Amino acid sequence: AQSVSQHNHHVILSEAASLELGCNYSYGGTVNLFWYVQYPGQHLQLLLKYFSGDPLVKGIKGFEAEFIKSKFSFNLRKPSVQWSDTAEYFCAVNRGRLGKLIFGQGTELSVKP
């Protein structure tokens, strides 16, 4: 079945550690890729997105993600996490003109001060 998979359900890091959250999708053809974040008690919001061009995209708060087409992956990275990055992170895929945004199951990130 076509899907979006996030490898880690819960990640616990200390402040200043590096972060990489995995995301794989199984759709063929052209896709648009997103990372959304949900801070505790807040609404889902866009962190970054990839439509085309440079496969390394930069988002807000120092996050970046790399699209590797051959691996059907769009992993999220941050060189040094902060306590305020504690949140749930969702990878999502949109198959362009079909318009439906498909989310992964989410990864909960806990950053210890």
Partner 1 sequence: EAGVVQSPRYKIIEKKQPVAFWCNPISGHNTLYWYLQNLGQGPELLIRYENEEAVDDSQLPKDRFSAERLKGVDSTLKIQPAELGDSAVYLCASSLGDSYANTGELFFGEGSRLTVL
> Smallest distance, Å, CB 99 to partner 1?
4
Q: Which is nearer to partner 1, 51 or 83 (CB)?
A: 51
> Smallest distance, Å, CB 9 to partner 1?
7
Chain residues in the site for partner 1 (CB under 8 A) = 4, 9, 32, 42-46, 49, 51, 90, 92, 94, 96-106
Give the largest Cα separation in the chain, rounded: 43
Query: Quick one: DSSP state of residue 41?
Result: T
Inter-residue contact 38 to 45 (CB < 8 Å): yes
> Residue 21's beta-bridge partner residues?
76
Instruction: For residue 93, give the nearest of 47, 6, 37, 25 by alpha carbon.
Output: 25
Q: Which is nearer to partner 1, 39 or 80 (CB)?
A: 39
> Smallest distance, Å, CB 12 to partner 1?
16
Q: Which is nearer to partner 1, 69 or 113 (CB)?
A: 69
Tell me the C-alpha distance between 23 and 25, whole Å.
7
